[in-house]
Structure 1
Amino acid sequence: MSAMSSSNWDRRSVLRAAAGLAALGPLAACGSNNGRSGGGSSGKNLTQYFHAYGEAGTEQAIKKYAKAYDKANVTTQWITGSNFESKLFSALLTDNAPDVFEFHPQIQLVESGQVADLTDLIAPVKDDFNQADIASHTIDGKIWGIRMIDDPQFFFYRKSVLADAGIEPPATLDELVEAAAKLTTDKVKGVFLGNSITPVMNPLIWSTGANTLTDDNKIAYHTDEVAAGLKQLRTMFKDGHLLLDAPADWWDPSALTQGLVAIQWCGMWAMPVIQQALGDDVGIFPFPQSADAGKPAVTNGGWSMFVNAKSKNIDAAKEYVKWLWIDQKEYQEDWALSYGFHIPPRASLAASATKLKSGLPAEGVKLFDEYGHFDNPAWTQAMIVALEGVVADTVRKGGDPQAALDKADKTVERELKKLFG
């Protein structure tokens, strides 16, 4: 999902997970209840892994759905803290590996034989899914995961604060930099891009007209326009117009709702909480265009369900996943719309989602439809971390963007060679 505790997996890395394997051991950190005892009507036991979503009621909902399933005893590991994937990837190497888990489509999961082919589950309803989600989960002509929710991310702003300063919602990155300066006071910062500033790296790339990779999997992010955009982010940082070290990170809307900042990058999941706090005094806009050839950008986060191909109960796991994420539309709708706002990836559910039909949620859907960018399964954790390093080197430390991009290129090239030869 989005989850306030983790929409963007681009904050962490499987490399770090691998490095932490020895320290973690066989997943003691996730508790001893691994769902291998008891049993549903069939006597089968399944374990599913979820990261701890920030929205209230999510853990109870997932456990309620599991309890309603009568063909197996399904135990949920609800993994708190910021290192979900390190715990997940550690667990996948042990005898206590989950049968079912949420993650994002990544080509290494397929190439390592870690995830099961789910094409047969999705085939009957394939046309009812957002086709961009189907595409992002399709590798070698097979579909490897089932999208549970789509999570657009964009800027939220206080309408009254911008109006008082005589500022329109920024349409270009230049205007965002100007707005950040005008809106910063001794009590309020202009813009919050996350404590690490990394959540906006991909939208910055897209907003210049570039991409992370080309269609044939070559580097596409290393352009003069991206380097120029990094310098503009550096200007906001250097001049003290960015909120840094907020009490909660970007996926939690409290920086905005508590009046610490005028403009915050966040996700659509936070809309109900923001509207409850601010009423109608909130608007949204995409990451603004930052080069002549570019256009505004919206990140589509979200989470997908995968079946562990090495599960001892692979058929039972696939049956459960089909039951919950294909057949039980009532639960799918509940998951998308009752705990924060997410866009259902099923077209039929999105079409009937009355909560998303008017006001701010409808604007969010429109931005998602117009400017949304979906997962690229070839964009690996190591590549993500390499570009996080670019943000640290340039925006925070003031290093030369071209040099930082050159450094990232080496990691990305190495990864691409491993994947594609």
Structure 2
Amino acid sequence: MRKRTLIWSAGAVALTFMLSGCSIFSDDSDPGRDASNGKGIQNAPILLTIRHTQVKDTQKKRLAMLQDVVKATEAKVPGLTITLDGVEDKVNRFEKLRAEMAAGNPPEIFDLFGGTDTKDYVKANRLLDLTPILQELGLTDKFYSFDEFTVNGKIYGIPMAGYVEGLYYNKKILTQQGIKLPETWDELVAAAAKLKAAKITPFAMAAKDSWVINMMINTMWVRTAGADSIEGFLNGSMHWTDPEVLKAFEQYRTLIQKDYFQDGSLALAYAEQQNTFSSGNAAFMFDGSWANTPLLDPEKSVIARDVGFMNFPSMGGPGDGYINGGWSNAYGFSKKVTPEQLLAIKEFIKQMYTESMQKRQLVEEGMPPAMKLQDTSQVNPLITEILHVFANSKGTFPAFDSRIQTKVREKLERGMQELLGGRTDPASLMNELQKQQEASNKEETHTK
């Protein structure tokens, strides 16, 4: 098996509005060029706003890191005042930032999602080209990947951390029930049956927030249809109705019909999924590496010493062994900044993207670093396990919502909730998805 180097030797939103492709400035000036004339920052007031998404109780440590960077940046730049604007992640990505981009007035610095979001904002001429800045600061070769933020050879976002999705499991429950880690789909289903018979919830699941339910099925259809399935949907070489895609949804319905998900999941918000698992009331939970923080907090989790992480079992398809992971969350920067603001932005980048800050993220929050660290000591064993699983996967694939069109994503989200509620079946859902996919592909072709 080919091993990818990750971290250390162990590891879409398409805009629903039409944006003008012309410059948001009155001329073709480039703030990067204007600010590179060697002049220092004057003492006149300089204002920057940073839009961040560290607003939950479980994200206090991440917010503290950002606040420390802000203080360090302000101390280095005379006259600089930075305002922090915290917005919940989904609201920022799908509502607030999208509206600001449409109006041409995003904050100077903001949380940016890679893939389709970045490409659409570049097309609208809203993002600052970071390529020369990264080169100037000597950072270009210090990151694992800029792929999700690169458009036409230029970099428009700087990743903060990596992510990986897979199965968390309760070691104590599996040991007590005599269940070994499942390596295949059949073994996973058999384990779920044994757990249910013992009156233990097999899978923690909260589906009120529609994106949550699509994490696991995304991995499942990649297992059965291949890691290139999303690109196939986009270019027409694959269809949602193909047997290998349909197979994954039919197998997912098996879990629904046998009541292997926690009761009342359609009415439960995302936090309830983690609460169920961390309280020791479920054996498995499909989630991302970002979920490890509350799981490892002994004040909030009774399984802090008993949680493990694994890649999803094989399902007998071309996508077996691959894992949903990468570097899709970053800071982006508005193109509409003054030369003085740009110099302050460069200082922010210098303070934020350091070995010490990336190490702090890894140790305190278990966030897989975006930069290649030299020191990876003092890492929690669960984080070590997550990084090991990531590094030893057959390969990676991006989350479908970083590539697929908005209307297709929305139809899949609603459709999966309907499937979970017994209001549709896999074949009907796939037919509806394929119709929307063809319509979205056609619309995209016409607007190019």
- TM-score band w.r.t. shorter chain: 0.7 to 0.9
- 1:77 aligns with 85
Q: Residue 165 of structure 2: which of 128, 153, 175 is its match? A: 153
2:38 paired residue number: none
Q: Relative to structure 2, which stretch is displaced further, 362-371 or 397-406?
A: 397-406
SS of 1:171's equivalent in the other structure is coil
- Displacement of 1:364 after TM fit? 0.8
> Which protein, 1 or 2, shows the higher relative CO under an 8 Å CA cutoff with sep ≥ 6?
2
CA–CA distance in 2 between the matches of 1:299 and 1:318?
Answer: 34
Residue 199 of structure 1, CA deviation: 1.9
SS in 2 for 1:168: coil
Contact 2:46–2:341 (CA<8 Å) still a contact in 1? no
Stretches of structure 2 lacking an aligned partner (at least 5 in a row)? 1-11, 18-40
Aligned counterparts of 1:326 and 1:216: Cα–Cα separation in 2: 40
Aligned to 1:258: 279
Q: Which residue matches 1:306?
A: 332
Superposed CA deviations along residues 366-414 of structure 1, whole A, max 9, x for unmatched, are: 2222243336754343333233234234444363423322322233333
Q: Map 1:6-17; keep pairs closer than 5 Å.
A: 15=16
2: CA distance between counterparts of 1:375 and 1:335? Answer: 26
Question: Does 2:230 correspond to 1:213?
Answer: yes
| TM-score normalized by the length of structure 1 | 0.79
How far did 1:191 drift? 0.8
Instruction: Say which of 268, 293, 296 aligns to 2:289.
Output: 268
Q: Deviations 1:323-370 (Å, cap 9, x if unpaired)?
A: 3345540563256225421111111x2x422244x7322221122222
SS at match of 1:181: helix
Q: Provide closer, same or farther for how the CA distance between residues 126 and 215 of structure 1 changes in structure 2, counting only shifts above 3 A.
A: farther
Shift of 1:93: 4.1
**Cα RMSD for the two superposed structures:** 3.2
Task: Give the AA of the match of 1:136.
Answer: E
In structure 1, the residue matched to 2:155 is: 143
The residue that corresponds to 1:365 in the other structure is: 387
For 2:3, the equivalent position in structure 1 comes to: none
Provide the TM-score with structure 2 as the length reference. Answer: 0.75
The alignment of Structure 1 onto Structure 2 pairs a total of residues equal to: 382
* Structure 1 counterpart of 2:417: 392
- Cα 1:102–1:252 change in 2 (3 A) is farther
Per-residue CA deviations over 1:189-241 (Å, capped at 9, x if unaligned) read 10124424222232122222423433794144623122111111111112211
Q: CA deviation at 1:252?
A: 6.4
* Partner amino acid, structure 2, of 1:303: N
Verify the 8 A CA contact 2:162 2:370 in the aligned structure 1: yes
Q: Residue 109 of structure 2: which of 100, 108, 111 is its match? A: 100
Task: Specify whether residues 95 and 401 from structure 1 end up closer, same or farther in structure 2 by C-alpha distance, changes over 3 A only.
Answer: closer
Percent identity between the two aligned chains: 20
Gaps (5+ residues) in structure 1? 1-9, 19-38
Q: Distance in 2 between matches of 1:326 and 1:208?
A: 43
| 3-state SS in 2 of match to 1:416 | helix
In the alignment, the residues of structure 2 paired with residue 137 and residue 252 of structure 1 have an alpha-carbon distance, to the nearest angstrom, of 30
1:419 Cα offset (Å): 4.0
Cα distance change of structure 1 residues 246 and 268 upon mapping to structure 2, 3 Å threshold: farther
Change (3 A) 1:177 1:245: same
Q: Deviation digits for residues 82-133 of structure 1, max 9, x if unmatched?
A: 5222122223345763111112122212212222221112334222211xx3
CA gap of 1:414–1:73, structure 2 versus 1, over 3 A, is farther
What are the Cα deviations for residues 299-323 of structure 1, in whole angstroms up to 9, with x where unaligned? Answer: 22651111122x3x25455444443
The equivalent residue for 1:24 is none
Identify the range of structure 1 (93-102 vs 247-256) with the bigger mean alpha-carbon deviation: 247-256
The alpha carbon displacement at 1:183 in A equals 1.2
- 1:192 pairs, out of 182, 187, 204, with 204
- Structure 1 Cα separation of the partners of residues 160 and 362 of structure 2: 12
The CA distance in 1 between the partners of 2:267 and 2:441, in whole Å, is 35
Q: Which has the larger radius of gyration?
A: 2
Q: Separation in 1 of the partners of 2:267 and 2:173? A: 19
Between stretches 111-120 and 328-337, larger displacement belongs to 328-337
| Alpha-carbon shift at residue 66 of structure 1 (Å) | 1.4
Distance between the aligned counterparts of 1:154 and 1:320, measured in 2?
39
Distance 1:154 1:233 in 2: 16
The answer to whether 1:353 aligns with 2:353 is no
Are the structure 2 counterparts of residues 225 and 394 from structure 1 closer, same or farther at C-alpha, using a change threshold of 3 Å?
farther
Say whether the 8 Å CA contact 1:191–1:242 is kept in structure 2. yes
- CA contact 1:307–1:317 (8 Å) conserved in 2: no
- In 1, are the aligned partners of 2:359 and 2:376 still within 8 Å (CA)? no
